[in-house]
Amino acid sequence: MLVLLKNLCFRQSIIPQGAHTSPPASTGVYAHHANHGSVTALPQIKNADDNWVSTTTSIDVEVGGIPSNPLTANPKASIMDSIRNAFSAVKNFHPTPRMISDAIIGLADGMTVPFALTAGLSTLGSTHIVVLGGVAELVAGMISMGVGGALGAKAESDGFQAKLADTTKLVLNHPAEAIALVHGVLRPFRFDPQQRNIVVEQLSRSSERMVDWLMRFHYQEKRPDPSRPLTCGITIGLGYAIGGLIPLIPYFCVRNDQILLALYISIGVMLVTLFLFGFFKTVLLAEKEQDKSTWNACVGGFWMLIVGGAAAAVAVGVVHGINTA
Q: What is the pLDDT of residues 220-272, one digit of tens each?
A: 988 888 888 999 999 999 999 998 898 899 998 888 888 889 888 988 888 88
Render pLDDT for 94-108 as a digit per residue (tens, 0 to 9).
Answer: 667 788 888 888 888
Q: What value does the mean pLDDT take over residues 264-287?
A: 84
The whole-model pTM stands at: 0.62
Render pLDDT for 131-165 as a digit per residue (tens, 0 to 9).
Answer: 999 999 999 999 999 999 999 999 999 999 999 99
Beta pairing partners, 270 = none
Query: 63, 45, 60, 56: which is closest to 3 by C-alpha?
Result: 45
Residue 13: pLDDT above 90? no
Residue 281: pLDDT above 90? no
What residues contact 149, with CB distance under 8 A and at least 6 apart?
Answer: 102, 105, 106, 232, 233, 235, 236, 237
Element (H, E) at 135: helix 127-173
Residue 214: pLDDT above 70? yes
Mean residue pLDDT across the chain: 76
How far is the C-alpha of 302 from the C-alpha of 300, rounded, in Å? 6
Residue 190 pLDDT: 86
Residue 313: pLDDT above 60? yes
Residue 46 binned pLDDT confidence (cut-offs 50, 70, 90): very low
